[in-house]
């Protein structure tokens, strides 16, 4: 059932088995996995189905340096479905090496292994509508799958790994009907959790305080509460709940909000491939079940260990859009139309290049002298993207020259001084706003440099191509836009040491017996992978844990039946 929180009487005290705060990918996946286990579930959502400016404004806050991190009301959506209402849909699991304690990545090591999460990935893939849980090109595409780059064969730099693409599925829209008809799940829209109240001893959640923007205030007393409010907001809620725990909940050791990570990402260098352009798969392929997927260059785990590298991947990409020397009408068209593109997707078209009459004219000339490609692109985009249900994931250009830049997407090492804190300023509901101080390390840049060196060596050795990049400008290339997009990781990290983590291996806040976290806030390290598929898998794992804990008899019946 889905109802508006304004229908609840002010002063009411609702009870439920599980109360989940936030209906993004994490909260909805968890609610669906709990349904049917004999438990009552309340799913609280601050927003409604559509975007609403005053609700979105509750996400406003400060950043220490806007060149390095977008304001906190960007790259997040406060409405049903959360940020899946605007995400790109790129899915891939973490790699087993991500879970290891690695000397080259300080503060690394998860308290669970890949194998403990693996059983939940196939269902996560299904919920994300990314097809079969198969991330190997031959397995996904069949034995006739062509190599990514003919003539490039390396044990150290692998090319058979895939990323898959969701529709991209808006979890709010896609699962509204299932939530509407579920008799054991009640979704409250417009319900903002403004505080978590603990029992006097601080070891259990007593109540959640709820407010609506139209002035209703009520409370929820759950047997168990789960924060699924996103990687930044979960830390905000923990830090802002200070009546019993003066430093904030779970923050006895000043860890909440620290170790904040995104990804190190940017376009670098020039890779010139010696083969024929039609022997290179740099764009999207379609699996037999109709899912878009794409290859990437990835360093093998053993070579990561041997060379002391953090995890990173490289995709074959087009040249820098803002530079008209690419002479490509489509890229120039995108640059000229950047004012029409949303903040999140337009940001990378605004790299600080100042528009001048001369620059405008050169881009316009590119568009006018490249009419065939430009028209073909527009037709393709309208049919395969705008009108299609499963959308073509991003702009891909025909590459006639076999020259690419490398689009790097790398892990950043967690560091305690990269953090979010509260400010003195409050939002419309009285909650202190967030301040984001995201930091990276020189070792993150050095690791990408070593990765590029290895890729270059392997292309040289195989005779398949040549990679050139400038070490002197690498940091600038990777940090041109600061922290990468909407990946908010690590602010309530998982661990077994209470002094350096916030939640345990079951995602339970160490010091509170009935408070859990779902989402990328719990990741101790960031991996090369985009986070959503893994946070869905972790939510499903949490769902299993909670149903066994709260309704053991029903959970046993489910297991026997499956
Ligand atoms: C432009 C963009 C592109 C992206 N592309 C990709 C991609 O290709 N692949 C990928 O893996 N990831 C991608 N991401 C990241 C992805 O969107 C997030 O990882 C994912 O959506 C996070 O899900 P979540 O449920 O943890 O959090 P959210 O989506 O942030 O959901 C949190 C929910 O909690 C609600 N909420 C917040 N505070 C409260 C409160 N106090 N009370 C009640 N409700 C509250 C919010 O309204 C929201 O609905 C992208 C993000 C952006 C912005």
Tell me which residue has tokens 């820098």: 320
Q: For residue 488, give the ligand 1 atom closest to its CA.
A: 19
Ligand 1 centre to CA of 284 (Å) is: 25
C-alpha 130/C-alpha 530 separation (Å) is 14
* Domain that includes residue 41, residue range: 1-57+78-130+169-263+487-562
In a domain, 82, yes or no: yes
Strand order in the sheet with 90-91: 90-91, 162-165, 292-295, 285-286
* Overall domain count for the chain: 1
Q: Is residue 102 domain-resident? A: yes
In the predicted model, residues of the chain with pLDDT beneath 70 are 554-562
The reply to whether 151 falls in a domain is: no
- Give the three-state DSSP class for 425: strand
| Residue 174 within any structural domain of the chain | yes
Q: Measured in whole angstroms, how far is the alpha carbon of residue 499 from the centre of its chain?
A: 26
Q: What is the pTM of this model?
A: 0.96
Q: Answer yes or no: is 409 within a domain.
A: no
Q: Is 39 domain-assigned?
A: yes
> Is the residue at 473 inside a domain?
no
pLDDT of residue 408: 97
Structure tokens at 476: 């600038």
CA of 264 to the centre of ligand 1 (A): 19
The pLDDT value recorded for residue 216 is 97
Nearest-CA residue for atom 19 of ligand 1: 532
Residue 558: per-residue pLDDT: 65
Q: What is the pLDDT of residue 418?
A: 98
Helices (H) and strands (E) in the chain, counts: 17, 21
* CATH code of the domain covering residue 11: 3.50.50.60
Task: Return the ligand 1 atom nearest residue 90 CA.
Answer: 8
Within a domain: 361: no
User: How many CB atoms are closer than 10 A to CB 336?
Assistant: 17
Q: Which residues have C-beta atoms less than 6 Å from ligand 1?
A: 21-27, 44-47, 75-76, 78-79, 82-84, 86-90, 191-193, 228-230, 233, 237, 344, 485-487, 519-520, 530-532, 535
Looking at residue 79, its pLDDT comes to 98
Ligand 1 atom nearest the C-alpha of 532 is 11
pLDDT at 555: 60
Pairing state of beta strands 292-295 and 90-91?
A: unpaired
pLDDT of residue 554: 66
């Amino acid at each position: 059932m889905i109802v508006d929180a304004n229908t609840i009487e002010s002063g009411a005290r609702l009870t439920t088995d599980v109360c989940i705060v936030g209906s993004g990918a994490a909260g909805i996946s968890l609610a669906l996995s709990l349904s049917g286990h004999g438990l009552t579930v309340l799913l609280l959502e601050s927003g409604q189905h559509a975007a609403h400016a005053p609700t979105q404004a509750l996400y406003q806050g400060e950043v220490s340096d806007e060149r390095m991190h977008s304001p906190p009301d960007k790259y997040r959506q406060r409405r049903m479905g959360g940020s899946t209402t605007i995400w790109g849909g790129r899915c891939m699991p973490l790699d087993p090496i991500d879970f290891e304690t690695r000397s080259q990545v300080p503060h690394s090591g998860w308290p669970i292994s890949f194998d403990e999460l693996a059983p939940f990935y196939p269902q996560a893939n299904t919920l994300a509508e990314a097809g079969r849980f198969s991330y190997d090109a031959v397995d996904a595409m069949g034995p006739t799958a062509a190599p990514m780059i003919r003539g490039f064969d390396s044990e150290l730099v692998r090319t058979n790994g895939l990323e898959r693409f969701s529709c991209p599925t808006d979890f709010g829209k896609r699962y509204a009907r299932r939530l509407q008809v579920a008799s054991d799940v009640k979704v409250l829209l417009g319900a903002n959790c403004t505080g978590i109240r603990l029992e006097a001893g601080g070891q259990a959640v007593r109540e959640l305080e709820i407010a609506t923007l139209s002035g209703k205030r009520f409370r929820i007393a759950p047997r168990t509460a789960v924060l699924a409010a996103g990687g930044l907001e979960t830390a905000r809620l923990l830090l802002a709940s200070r009546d019993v725990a003066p430093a904030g909940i779970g923050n006895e050791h000043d860890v909440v909000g620290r170790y904040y990570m995104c990804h190190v990402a940017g376009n670098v260098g020039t890779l010139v491939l010696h083969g024929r352009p039609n022997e290179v798969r740099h764009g999207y392929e379609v699996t037999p079940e109709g899912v878009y997927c794409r290859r990437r260059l990835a360093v093998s785990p053993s070579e990561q260990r041997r060379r002391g590298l953090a995890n990173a991947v490289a995709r074959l990409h087009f040249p820098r859009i803002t530079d008209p020397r690419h002479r490509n009408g489509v890229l120039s068209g995108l640059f000229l139309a950047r004012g029409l593109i949303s903040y999140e997707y337009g940001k990378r078209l605004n790299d600080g290049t100042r528009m001048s009459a001369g620059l405008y004219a050169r881009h316009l000339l590119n568009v006018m002298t490249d009419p065939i490609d430009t028209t073909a692109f527009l037709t393709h985009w309208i049919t395969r993207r705008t009108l299609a249900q499963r959308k073509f994931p991003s702009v891909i250009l025909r590459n006639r020259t076999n020259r690419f830049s490398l689009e790097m997407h790398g892990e950043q090492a967690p560091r305690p001084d990269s953090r979010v804190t509260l400010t003195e300023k409050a939002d419309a509901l009285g909650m202190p706003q967030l301040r984001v101080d995201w930091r990276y390390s020189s070792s993150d840049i050095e690791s990408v440099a070593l990765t590029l060196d290895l890729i270059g060596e392997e292309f040289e050795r195989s005779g398949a191509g040549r990679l050139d990049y400038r070490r002197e400008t690498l940091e600038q290339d990777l940090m041109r836009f600061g922290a990468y997009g909407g990946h908010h990781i690590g602010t309530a990290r998982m661990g077994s040491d209470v002094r350096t983590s916030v939640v345990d291996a079951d995602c339970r806040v160490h010091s509170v017996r009935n408070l859990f976290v779902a989402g990328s806030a719990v990741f101790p390290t960031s991996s090369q992978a985009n986070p959503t598929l893994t946070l869905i898998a972790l939510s499903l794992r949490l769902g299993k844990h909670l149903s066994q804990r709260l309704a053991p008899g029903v959970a046993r019946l489910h297991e026997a039946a499956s």
